[in-house]
Amino acid sequence: MPSNLKLAGDREIMTHHKPLAGRAGIVTGGALGIGGGTARRLAADGAEILIVDIVEDAAQRNAQRIIDAGGAASYMVGDVAQEDVAKSMVEKCVDEYGRLDILIQNAYGGSVGRDGSAVDVEPDAWRSGMDLLVGAQFLGAKYGVPAMEASGHPDTFEVPEWKGAGRRHGVPPKMEVGRIVNISSVHGLLQAPRALVYEAGKAAVVGLTRQMAVDFGPLGITVNAIAPGHIVTERGEAMWAELGNDAGFGLFERHYPVRRTGVPADIANAIAFFCSPDASFITGVVLPVDGGMSIQLQENIVMHTKDYIVANPDLRTHFDHGRLG
Ligand SMILES: NC(=O)c1ccc[n+]([C@@H]2O[C@H](COP(=O)([O-])OP(=O)(O)OC[C@H]3O[C@@H](n4cnc5c(N)ncnc54)[C@H](O)[C@@H]3O)[C@@H](O)[C@H]2O)c1
């Protein structure tokens, strides 16, 4: 296991530059893991954050951690696959912070009971999986986008003078009205066997993101997706401690050109960039944040991995326990 695992972008909230000052945002699944680290990072960047999660104590703890560090955060308990939750999280953000600028659609609860091919998966498991993986992101945008429009750009945004190169018309387009970041996965780009629901759902997030980018660009709202590689979260670390060993973790790391797996801060950094004013001309992209894992030719990796496995016959990973395909 890696030592001194830093789980999130825990920079000094009081001293850090604040490119998101004056903005308010929602992070779904913002209690733990990638969402937890993202909530802390966006708060460090100056945004007021509403955490929406099904685990109340962890949501409360993360909000308190942000407040203790000098940021602004609150939380709400709810399953974001439910329409009433999507609606009320947007209302709560607007009630509490007066606006909505940022929507990070990250929540997912794992694939227990949803594994298998199209032959294995029960129709109810398909529906509930798609409702959370894809449906929640649709609902978040359905209620979030009108609230972003109503909020307009933040007071801190200075509309540029609209003339000169590339600016042919007198009226500037709508700008800095909102940012949506949808969390896909390397599983949305590359398929793992016997994981129909997750793989199809994460691939659908790519299409949903591109569609939303086209639909909401004219409103001044950018929509991008991130495809994380293997990110060790609080839960992932506990799973590795239980089911894996150092040699097994090393096997994982060898599949990454940068020779490490990720931590939530790696994803939070990319999300913070998409939300920043610097990213205003970027929309509809799917950014792999995966240490290069998804650009390697697989057949070479297999041959390199063979030697490692032969040299480490006692390696254990979560795959050995039938957890994943
Ligand atoms: N960890 C990885 O290796 C990895 C890789 C690629 C993509 N992802 C994606 O990143 C996102 C976050 O994953 P993570 O690894 O941080 O998971 P995690 O389990 O550590 O955290 C997920 C958070 O979402 C919450 N949540 C679950 N279901 C919810 C629901 N219905 N409504 C509201 N909140 C809910 C959980 O309580 C938890 O706080 C997911 O979309 C996941 O598919 C993770």
231 lines ligand 1 (CB under 6 A): yes
Domain 24-156+174-233+262-292 bears CATH identifier 3.40.190.10 = no
pLDDT of residue 11 exceeding 80: no
Q: pLDDT (tens digit, 9 = 90+) per residue, 234-263?
A: 999 999 999 999 999 999 899 999 999 999
Q: What residues does 75 pair with on adjacent strands?
A: 51
Determine the distance separating the centroid of ligand 1 and the alpha carbon of 103, expressed in angstroms: 15
**Of 5, 108, 237, best ligand 1 pocket probe by most atoms within 8 Å of the beta carbon:** 108
pLDDT of residue 97 exceeding 50: yes
pLDDT-based confidence at 320, cuts 50/70/90? confident
177 lines ligand 1 (CB under 6 A): no
Mean predicted lDDT score pLDDT of the chain: 92
> Which protein residue has the closest C-alpha to ligand 1 atom 40?
108
142 lines ligand 1 (CB under 6 A): no
* pLDDT for the residue 2: 39
pLDDT-based confidence at 304, cuts 50/70/90? confident
Are 225 and 286 contacting, i.e. CB atoms less than 8 angstroms apart? Answer: yes
> Which protein residue has the closest C-alpha to ligand 1 atom 31?
79
Phi first, then psi: give them for residue 175, nearest 5 degrees. -135, 150
* pLDDT for the residue 171: 87
132 lines ligand 1 (CB under 6 A): yes
The mean pLDDT value for 106-128 works out to: 94
227 lines ligand 1 (CB under 6 A): no
57 lines ligand 1 (CB under 6 A): no
The mean pLDDT value for 192-210 works out to: 97
* pLDDT for the residue 3: 35
Nearest to 232 by CA among 248, 221, 210: 248
pLDDT of residue 4 exceeding 70: no
Q: pLDDT (tens digit, 9 = 90+) per residue, 128-153?
A: 999 999 999 999 999 999 999 999 99
Percentage of the chain beyond pLDDT 90 is: 82
Determine the distance separating the centroid of ligand 1 and the alpha carbon of 237, expressed in angstroms: 14
Atom nearest to 132 CA in ligand 1: 31
Determine the distance separating the centroid of ligand 1 and the alpha carbon of 53, expressed in angstroms: 10
> Which protein residue has the closest C-alpha to ligand 1 atom 28?
109
The mean pLDDT value for 80-107 works out to: 98
Domain layout of the chain by residue ranges: 24-156+174-233+262-292
Measured distance CA(41)–CA(47) in Å, rounded:
9
Residues noted as catalytic:
198
Atom nearest to 133 CA in ligand 1: 41
* pLDDT for the residue 168: 78
239 lines ligand 1 (CB under 6 A): no
More confident residue, 15 or 295: 295
